[in-house]
Amino acid sequence: MAFRSGEKGTLSRRQLIKGAAAAGAATLAGGITVSGQRGGGPPSGVPPGPPLPGTPPGQTRQASKLVLVNGTIVDGRGALGTSMTIENGRISSVNHPAALGPDAHVIDLGGRTVVPGLYDSHVHYTRAGVNPGYEARRIERAFSISELQEEIAKRARSVPAGAFITCIGGWNHTQFAEARRPTKAELNDAAPSHAVYISGTGGGTGGITNSLGQAFFVSRGVGVNDATGVVSSTDAALAALQAVQTSADKLRGTMDINAHAASLGLTTVMNNGNFSDLEYPLELWRQQNLIVRMRPLFPAGSPAEVEARILNNFSHGGRPLGDPMFTVPGFGERVGGNDTMSAQFEPTARVVAQYRWMLYQHSISLAENDFHIAAFQRIAQDYPIDGLRWAIIHVQRIDPGRLQALKALGAGAIPQSWPYIGTAGGPPFRDIVDSGVIAGGGTDATNVAVLDPWCALFYMITGRNLAGVLINSGQEISRIEALRLYTEGSAYVGFDEHQLGSFDEGKYADLAVLSEDYLTVPDHRLRKIESVLTLVGGNVVHAQAPFANLLPSPSVFTV
């Protein structure tokens, strides 16, 4: 698959603005402001770097050179070597160790595999960050009731007594070997000192709570089956939890979801919609505590709304504000309103093209595909879109002919892994890769899909759903192809190809050191892979044994 470089002039319009303070501030929807006014720190926009082992608490003396040795360095081209040198947050060499010097810090990888930081090219990420309670998102990779209980019990150890442990969407009970819901008693056993509420997506799972959770819901008029713990309405249960949620809770939840993502090696997300939720990652960005790169896309219902957003909301003089940690690449996932085939789509998209911004459009059925491709073709006659990274997303039914029509425009087809949570079908990953069209990896998480990138990669590689059933036969792709979509492909879609996505010299050192060898681990173990060491711009944002001593001290990140 070719990731098109685009015309040079177009790309320059997408270059991140250095020194956003000098450019002023831009107001997002709901009065949210992107401003360059941040505390002092690295001009690259990444969080303060890791202290060297033995650095006193509260200090962040960072090695200017990190040397990773004795590993397997893998990106979308395959295995590249055994070592990597990182200088000032960027990759300076792969498999050609440089002279160490007095400021170098060597990390022995112990034979572990290293991949580029994963990049979800379509996700409702900030919405997950403000889910109420203390989420136990690793329920997504629990495949028995006992594993579910283990994940809840583990989460309980870091949650104040009496507080809610939750997991809102992104899983369902068919993933468990028992193929049933957990019982109220089993949730009680997992977290006897905490209220628990977990709600599934699909599968007829609904929402289940334990005894402490039942007392809360009943006091607020939400019915709960006394025997099973199943709530009468997931909407009512969610509303009851949100009613007692504070802004501080949402900020903490956003930090938690970032820590969870970092623990899986997910380092960049292209967030769709959810305006008000951006308040919280923006606050972390200002504090220099944003540890996952944010690329928000915004919807626009009309041509006037496009112009208002470009000129007033998230840019300065039509150029994006921000830095490598937070910047807005364009519009999506719905342009022209919620009706995907609205008469407003084409005139609204035309203004996006006129200003030369990126566009993503929700397009599942073949009828939707045809409607959007035809509009792309007409718009391109006046405003060529090659180089703008326009794409239709979801593409559940798209065929080779339609893929070639998109490729001829320089546009893309961006599949997501959300059918992994269902029982049939999915995007034609094989056809998309073979076509050479612009594409990236992503989930559409969390209301309708798992956030976990390793579950998504498992589905892309095996065609199997969360219950292990083959549902997308004939559209499987190789491990390297799937990794390339989730790294280099997504980076290209987000105008990050010169900075992220592969282990080329000069790119940011965003990477994950894996718990198991991605290239050789049995298929069923793919969903258990995690990161034992995650770097963003050469800075440690997650570490566990044997690398736990590399975490910033004191750490503000918790899982």
pLDDT value at position 4?
Answer: 34
Residue 173 resides in a domain: yes
Q: Answer yes or no: is pLDDT of 57 > 60.
A: no
Q: Answer yes or no: is pLDDT of 10 > 70.
A: no
Say if CB 68 and CB 86 are below 8 A apart. yes
pLDDT value at position 61?
Answer: 39
Say if CB 222 and CB 233 are below 8 A apart. yes
Residue 296 resides in a domain: no
Q: Answer yes or no: is pLDDT of 301 > 90.
A: yes
Say if CB 352 and CB 374 are below 8 A apart. no
User: Which stretch of 44-48, 356-360, 361-365 has the lowest confidence by average pLDDT?
Assistant: 44-48
Q: Answer yes or no: is pLDDT of 48 > 50.
A: no
Q: Is 102 helix (H, G, I), strand (E, B) or coil?
A: coil
pLDDT value at position 55?
Answer: 38
Q: For residues 360 and 349, what is the distance between their CA atoms, to the nearest angstrom?
A: 10
Q: Which domain holds residue 199?
A: 131-244
Residue 230 resides in a domain: yes
Residue with the bigger pLDDT between 264 and 100: it is: 264
Say if CB 94 and CB 84 are below 8 A apart. yes
pLDDT value at position 318?
Answer: 65
Q: Answer yes or no: is pLDDT of 19 > 70.
A: no
Q: Following DSSP, what letter does each residue of 159-228 receive, concatenated?
A: S-TTPEEEEESS--GGGSTT-SPPPHHHHHHH-TTSEEEEE-SSTT--EEE-HHHHHHHHHTT--B-TTT
Residue 201 resides in a domain: yes
| Residue 59 pLDDT level (bands cut at 50, 70, 90) | very low
pLDDT tens digit sequence for 476-512: 999 999 999 999 999 999 999 999 999 999 999 999 9
Q: For residues 478 and 116, what is the distance between their CA atoms, to the nearest angstrom?
A: 17
Tokens of 271: 């967030």
Strands 207-209 and 195-199: antiparallel
Q: Answer yes or no: is pLDDT of 317 > 70.
A: no
Residue 202 resides in a domain: yes
- Predicted TM-score (pTM) of this structure: 0.90
pLDDT value at position 24?
Answer: 31
Q: Answer yes or no: is pLDDT of 203 > 80.
A: yes
pLDDT value at position 3?
Answer: 37
Residue 302 resides in a domain: no
Residue 105, CB-side half-sphere exposure with 13 Å CA sphere: 21
| Mean pLDDT across 56-83 | 80
Residue with the bigger pLDDT between 197 and 558: it is: 197
pLDDT value at position 314?
Answer: 64
Residue 136 resides in a domain: yes
Q: Answer yes or no: is pLDDT of 32 > 60.
A: no
What is the average pLDDT value for the chain, to the nearest integer? 87
Q: Answer yes or no: is pLDDT of 379 > 50.
A: yes
Q: Answer yes or no: is pLDDT of 56 > 90.
A: no
pLDDT value at position 486?
Answer: 98
pLDDT value at position 93?
Answer: 95
Q: Answer yes or no: is pLDDT of 23 > 70.
A: no
pLDDT value at position 96?
Answer: 83
Q: Answer yes or no: is pLDDT of 520 > 80.
A: yes
pLDDT value at position 316?
Answer: 62
Least Cα distance to 44 among 311, 327, 330 occurs for 327
pLDDT tens digit sequence for 231-287: 999 999 999 999 999 999 999 999 999 999 999 999 999 998 767 789 999 999 999
* CATH code, domain with 234: 3.10.310.70
Q: Answer yes or no: is pLDDT of 97 > 90.
A: no
| Residue 315 pLDDT level (bands cut at 50, 70, 90) | low
| Residue 556 pLDDT level (bands cut at 50, 70, 90) | very low
Residue with tokens 């949210």: 32
Q: How many domains does the chain have?
A: 1
Residue 198 resides in a domain: yes
Residue with the bigger pLDDT between 47 and 164: it is: 164
Q: For residues 324 and 290, what is the distance between their CA atoms, to the nearest angstrom?
A: 11
pLDDT value at position 202?
Answer: 92
